[in-house]
Structure 1
Amino acid sequence: MAGRRRVRGSGVSGRWAVPGPLFAPLCVPLVVLLLVGLVACGGRAGADSARADVQRVLDRRAAAVLDHDASAYAATGSDAGYAAVRAVPLAGWSYRVTGLHRSGDSATADAELSYRVDGYDKAPVTVGRTLRLARDGGGRWSVTSEKPAAKVGEQLWDQGTVRVVRGAHSLVLGVGQSDARLRSFAELADGAVPAVSAAWGTDWAGHVVVLVPKSLEGMAGLLGSPASAYRGIAAVTTGETGGGAKAPADRVVVNPDAYGLLGQVGRQVVLTHETTHVATRAHTNGATPLWLSEGYADWVGYRETGRTPAEAAPELQQVVRDGDVPEALPADGDFGFSGDANRLAQAYEGGWLACRMIAERWGEVKLDAFYRAVGEHRTRPGAVEGALRSVLDTSLEQFTADWRAYLRAQLG
């Protein structure tokens, strides 16, 4: 916000107090300047007053959400969103007005909404929101609508009334889903959490929040991307990598359309995979290649299923049997959702088999140590090479050759 400019006035001294025509031309500009300064200050004061009034309205609105007070919420304006968010267990909910654009008795407010899900979020999730307001004859502002800010993903309650199911290690929030289906996701998540802790350890939150929108389009709306980017993707995990213990919590966002095509084992593998991302997030950053982060998540997901490489890596098996063994570990670009589906599958399978090889040859403890060592480097150049030397006592060239031989042995 621009600083407030200070208007400095000048008095008319005795030497300007001369009679005749000379007085007016010298005096009038000074009077005009003073009036302009007063008007400018008055306009700024009015804008500041309106912004403060709107902030107070939003403060009352936020308090009503936390207090589950429908009447108090309605007193701040439109109550269209109250029922949608009412069931969500919240430990915090607040708005901060960042900009106000007025046109007579209507206004548009830019605001930051910060909220925490009770028992799950260690720090607030902050998202941009746009609110429209109207002023009545008594000068009182009220909210007429609220929506995500431009280029910002939706919140689940923007899509309809949220239903909530609690599991032993999970909280499942859904829109347009039956309680029975939401319970099935809670059961999968409750199975995923101990499986992840058994592989990775217990130095993470030990619980997960799962969002189940009504459709693929709903999933895309939550992620702020086109639906075409996630067609065929069963679930994704949001959250800032490398954020540490106080970073806003991850959310596992489900694609109900794709999820319905999976069998029971596939559904469990997917939830365990995504929960692994939640557990490892603090040790995952720009230094971590996707073959490692995605491969490790798949390794944990398949760890207790008994699935063989031929069963879990059919796309990669085909190219290996065709004599086209990959020359290098999968690149980050191979994991793009909007690219070739076979290439994407081969990238995931290649990363999984790299992690599987480490676990078999060096041991699971070394696999975890390797993952953490890469993340400790913080930047990509030298991260994998350094961790390979310090943890596995090998080089990238030798590791790649070993991986290619492993593919032939497991898939040939």
Structure 2
Amino acid sequence: MSALRQARGWLSAKRRFQFVATCTMVIGLTAACGALLMLPNSVLPKIRAVVPGDAGLVATDPQVPEVRRLMDSYGKVVAEPVVTGAGKVGVVLGHPARSGDIDVLAGELAAATVAVSALWGSNWSQAPVVVVASSPAEFAALTHATGAVPAEVAAATVADPFHPGSQPEGQRVVFGPEAGRRLGADGLRTVLRHELTHIATRAVTVDGSPQWMLEGFAEYTAHRSTRQPVAQIAPTLIARARTGDLPADLPADAMFEPAGGQASLAYEQGWSACAFIASEFGEPALVNLYRQLATGPRDHAAVDRVIRESLGVSGEDFRTGWRAWITARSNEAA
């Protein structure tokens, strides 16, 4: 016992205990690091880059736990939280097999959120929930689809039932399992901005409103900051314009149906109409026109009346100016 008392006395004198403990820790850590360096690379886990300040982030939207529970039945869930501005945190969810798509979308989410807000305004959640489905069945479950989803659909937005004018809840963007392979990284970024536009505008959008405005506005937002050539954004429209084949009217809603075979042209025409408005009347006028036309179904005469009231030109003059704008863009792209 005397030896034990002597050892305790020696350790307590002059803070020797702290010194010995520190030395022991340093030796242990050095040995551990040395052992890791000796291991082959195939044994070591892959380490993801972490942005300072991102550790411990939690997505702001309260629907995330329920979405994760739904996705759990389709496999392990990977979550990438992203600070999107204004103190909000969005998230990209998926499965390990789609890690490449998840990384692309997570890397774009903050910039896409800012881009949408720059045009539309900040009166929306700004904490997007983005999901990459692993199969058609999971895509259907996440979008509440009741029938077969057309293969042409790369992504979709969904929201819980709500009253127009109120802030929607349960909104999310869902990408199909083949979206990354079909679209590539640039295509994923563009579609993300398009779908986020639908989320941002949903509170003022009534189902049945003219599709050329709803989809054209989302396309305009998606391409607004990309500096892509017009011939790349609207290849079919420009190719036809070069032969003198110009649209006689704004695209009808039926053209946007995937099964009709005209959806690509309809989206291009919708984009061009909104790009023409922004170019000739200004982006605030485009946003205002969206708000005026997104209030429900309208016939041809009602659309022309809103155009006159919002832009100060007749429907006929609007279409003439739009066709001239398309022709000018096709000549520039030649």
Q: TM-score by structure 1 length?
A: 0.58
Residue number among 195, 199, 212 corresponding to 1:278 in the alignment? 199
Q: Deviations over 1:366-401 (max 9, x none)?
A: 1111111223x4442465333212220122222122
Instruction: Find the counterpart in structure 1 of residue 157 from structure 2.
Output: 237
The residue correspondences of 1:187-226 to structure 2 (distance < 5 A) are: 187-223=107-143, 224-226=145-147
Change (3 A) 1:155 1:401: farther
Residue number among 337, 351, 363 corresponding to 2:258 in the alignment? 337
* SS in structure 2 of the partner of residue 262 of structure 1: helix
Instruction: Find the counterpart in structure 2 of residue 304 from structure 1.
Output: 225
* SS in structure 1 of the partner of residue 126 of structure 2: coil
The residue correspondences of 1:19-30 to structure 2 (distance < 5 A) are: none
Change (3 A) 1:389 1:211: same
Offset of 1:301 from its aligned partner?
A: 0.7
Offset of 1:199 from its aligned partner?
A: 1.1
Radius of gyration: which is bigger? 1
Offset of 1:265 from its aligned partner?
A: 2.7
Change (3 A) 1:251 1:197: same
Offset of 1:352 from its aligned partner?
A: 0.3
Offset of 1:283 from its aligned partner?
A: 1.6
Offset of 1:168 from its aligned partner?
A: 1.1
* SS in structure 2 of the partner of residue 203 of structure 1: coil
One-letter amino acid of the counterpart of residue 188, structure 2: R
Residue number among 304, 307, 311 corresponding to 1:388 in the alignment? 307
Residue number among 302, 310, 326 corresponding to 2:247 in the alignment? 326
> What is the identity percentage for the equivalent residue pairs of Structure 1 and Structure 2?
36
Residue 120 (str. 1) matches residue 39 (str. 2): no
Supply the distance in 1 between the matched residues of 2:179 and 2:250 (Cα, whole angstroms).
Answer: 27
Supply the distance in 2 between the matched residues of 1:298 and 1:258 (Cα, whole angstroms).
Answer: 17
* SS in structure 1 of the partner of residue 202 of structure 2: helix
Supply the distance in 2 between the matched residues of 1:397 and 1:307 (Cα, whole angstroms).
Answer: 29
The residue correspondences of 1:1-400 to structure 2 (distance < 5 A) are: 119-121=60-62, 155-169=70-84, 170-177=90-97, 181-223=101-143, 224-227=145-148, 229-239=149-159, 243-286=164-207, 288-340=209-261, 343-375=262-294, 377-381=295-299, 383-400=302-319
Change (3 A) 1:207 1:264: same
Offset of 1:303 from its aligned partner?
A: 0.6
Q: Deviations over 1:332-360 (max 9, x none)?
A: 111112221xx111100000000000000
Q: Is the 8 A contact 1:165 1:172 kept in 2?
A: yes
Change (3 A) 1:234 1:241: farther
Instruction: Find the counterpart in structure 2 of residue 14 from structure 1.
Output: none
Question: Which one has the bigger strand percentage?
Answer: 1
Offset of 1:186 from its aligned partner?
A: 1.6
Change (3 A) 1:196 1:217: same
Offset of 1:178 from its aligned partner?
A: 5.3
Supply the distance in 2 between the matched residues of 1:311 and 1:191 (Cα, whole angstroms).
Answer: 22
* SS in structure 2 of the partner of residue 261 of structure 1: helix
Q: Is the 8 A contact 1:173 1:212 kept in 2?
A: yes
Q: Deviations over 1:71-117 (max 9, x none)?
A: xxxxxxxxxxxxxxxxxxxxxxxxxxxxxxxxxxxxxxxxxxxxxx9
Report which structure shows greater RCO (CA 8 Å, sep ≥6): 2
Q: TM-score by structure 2 length?
A: 0.71
Q: Is the 8 A contact 2:217 2:274 kept in 1?
A: yes
Change (3 A) 1:155 1:326: farther
* SS in structure 2 of the partner of residue 165 of structure 1: strand
Which structure 2 segments of 5+ residues have no match? 1-57, 85-89
Which structure 1 segments of 5+ residues have no match? 1-116, 128-153
Supply the distance in 2 between the matched residues of 1:212 and 1:257 (Cα, whole angstroms).
Answer: 9
Q: Deviations over 1:279-334 (max 9, x none)?
A: 01112114621111111111111111111221211111222233322211111111
Supply the distance in 2 between the matched residues of 1:219 and 1:289 (Cα, whole angstroms).
Answer: 26
Supply the distance in 2 between the matched residues of 1:241 and 1:338 (Cα, whole angstroms).
Answer: 28
Query: What is the CA RMSD across the aligned residues, in angstroms?
Result: 2.8
Supply the distance in 1 between the matched residues of 2:325 and 2:100 (Cα, whole angstroms).
Answer: 43
Supply the distance in 1 between the matched residues of 2:166 and 2:245 (Cα, whole angstroms).
Answer: 43
Supply the distance in 1 between the matched residues of 2:314 and 2:70 (Cα, whole angstroms).
Answer: 45
Offset of 1:225 from its aligned partner?
A: 4.8
